[in-house]
Structure 1
Amino acid sequence: MIPSRPVRPGLLHPALPAVFLLALLALCGAAGCSRDEGSRASAAGPEGEFETLELRYQGNNGTVSPIELAEDLGYLAPIRLNFVGSTVSGPQSVQAVVTGDTDFGGAFNGAIIKLIAAKAPIVAVVGYYGVDEHRQSGFYVLNDSPLRTARDLLDRSISMNTLGAHSEFMVKEFLSRNQLAPEEARRVTLLVVPPVNGEQLLREKQVDVASLSDIYRDRALERGGIRPLFSDYELYGKFTAGSYVMKTSFIKKNPRTARRFVEATARAIEWARSTPRETVVARCIALMKKRGRNEEDSAIKYWRSYGVAGKGGLIAERDFQIWIDWMVRSGELKPGEIALDRVYTNEFNPYANEQATP
Structure 2
Amino acid sequence: MSRRLAPVAALLTAVAVLAAGCSASTATADADASVTIRYQGSAGQVTLAELADDLGYFEEVTLEWVGDTTSGPQDIQSAATGQTDVGGAFNGAIAKLVAAGSPITSVISYYGSDDLAFNGYYVLDGSPIRTAQDLIGKKVGMNTLGAHHEFVVREWLAQEGLTPAEIAQVELIVVPPVSTEQALREGQIDVGTLGSVFRDSALERGGLRELFTDTSLYGEFSYGTLVFRDDFLAEHPAAAEDFVQGVARAIRWTQTQPREAVIARFEQIIEGRDREESTDLVQYWKSAGVAGPGGVIDPQEISIWTDWLVREGTLDEGQLDPEDLYTNDLNPYANGTFDPTSGPDGEVLP
Q: Which amino acid aligns with 2:292?
A: G
Distance in 1 (alpha carbons) for counterparts of 2:276 and 2:339: 46
Q: Which amino acid aligns with 1:283?
A: R
Deviation at 1:356, TM superposition (A): 10
Residue of structure 2 in register with 1:195 after alignment = 177
Conserved? CA contact 2:136–2:169, under 8 Å: yes
Distance in 1 (alpha carbons) for counterparts of 2:163 and 2:328: 39
Q: Per-residue displacement from partner, 1:152-199 (whole Å, max 9, x unpaired)?
A: 212221111111111011111111122223332222111112222222
Distance in 1 (alpha carbons) for counterparts of 2:39 and 2:333: 24
Conserved? CA contact 1:130–1:307, under 8 Å: yes
Deviation at 1:78, TM superposition (A): 5.2
Residue of structure 1 in register with 2:323 after alignment = 341
Q: Which amino acid aligns with 2:120?
A: G
Q: Which amino acid aligns with 2:324?
A: R
Equivalent residues in 2 for 1:215-226, closer than 5 Å = 215-226=197-208
Q: Per-residue displacement from partner, 1:202-251 (whole Å, max 9, x unpaired)?
A: 23332221111233222322232222111110011111110000000011
Deviation at 1:98, TM superposition (A): 1.3
Structure number, greater radius of gyration: 2
Residue of structure 2 in register with 1:105 after alignment = 87
1:265 aligns with 2:242: no
Equivalent residues in 2 for 1:205-244, closer than 5 Å = 205-244=187-226
Conserved? CA contact 1:51–1:254, under 8 Å: no
Quick one: percent identity of the two aligned structures? Answer: 49
Equivalent residues in 2 for 1:90-239, closer than 5 Å = 90-239=72-221
Residue of structure 1 in register with 2:10 after alignment = none
3-state secondary structure, aligned to 1:176: helix
Distance in 1 (alpha carbons) for counterparts of 2:198 and 2:59: 31
**1:231 and 1:117, CA in 2 relative to 1: closer, same or farther beyond 3 A?**
same
Conserved? CA contact 1:219–1:302, under 8 Å: no
Equivalent residues in 2 for 1:272-287, closer than 5 Å = 272-287=254-269
Gaps of 5+ in 1: 1-41
Indicate the larger mover: 235-244 or 180-189: 180-189
Distance in 1 (alpha carbons) for counterparts of 2:197 and 2:231: 35
Residue of structure 1 in register with 2:271 after alignment = 289
Gaps of 5+ in 2: 1-24, 341-350
Residue of structure 2 in register with 1:84 after alignment = 66
Conserved? CA contact 1:127–1:315, under 8 Å: yes
Distance in 1 (alpha carbons) for counterparts of 2:205 and 2:278: 17
Conserved? CA contact 2:299–2:323, under 8 Å: no
3-state secondary structure, aligned to 1:67: helix
Indicate the larger mover: 263-272 or 136-145: 136-145
Q: Which amino acid aligns with 1:210?
A: G
Residue of structure 2 in register with 1:23 after alignment = none
1:319 aligns with 2:301: yes
Distance in 1 (alpha carbons) for counterparts of 2:179 and 2:43: 13
Aligned residue pairs, count:
314
**1:305 and 1:169, CA in 2 relative to 1: closer, same or farther beyond 3 A?**
same
Q: Per-residue displacement from partner, 1:239-290 (whole Å, max 9, x unpaired)?
A: 1110000000011011111011100100000000100001101111221122
Q: Per-residue displacement from partner, 1:83-126 (whole Å, max 9, x unpaired)?
A: 11111211100110111000000000111111111111100001
Distance in 1 (alpha carbons) for counterparts of 2:134 and 2:323: 41
Q: CA RMSD for the aligned pairs?
A: 2.2
Q: Which runs of 4+ in 1 moved over 4 A?
A: 354-358
Residue of structure 2 in register with 1:249 after alignment = 231
Distance in 2 (alpha carbons) for counterparts of 1:94 and 1:295: 24
Conserved? CA contact 2:138–2:171, under 8 Å: yes
**1:273 and 1:185, CA in 2 relative to 1: closer, same or farther beyond 3 A?**
same
3-state secondary structure, aligned to 1:164: coil
**1:285 and 1:357, CA in 2 relative to 1: closer, same or farther beyond 3 A?**
closer
**1:94 and 1:216, CA in 2 relative to 1: closer, same or farther beyond 3 A?**
same
Residue of structure 2 in register with 1:68 after alignment = 50
Q: TM-score, normalised by structure 2?
A: 0.84
Distance in 2 (alpha carbons) for counterparts of 1:296 and 1:147: 36
Q: TM-score, normalised by structure 1?
A: 0.83
Residue of structure 2 in register with 1:328 after alignment = 310
Distance in 1 (alpha carbons) for counterparts of 2:165 and 2:331: 45
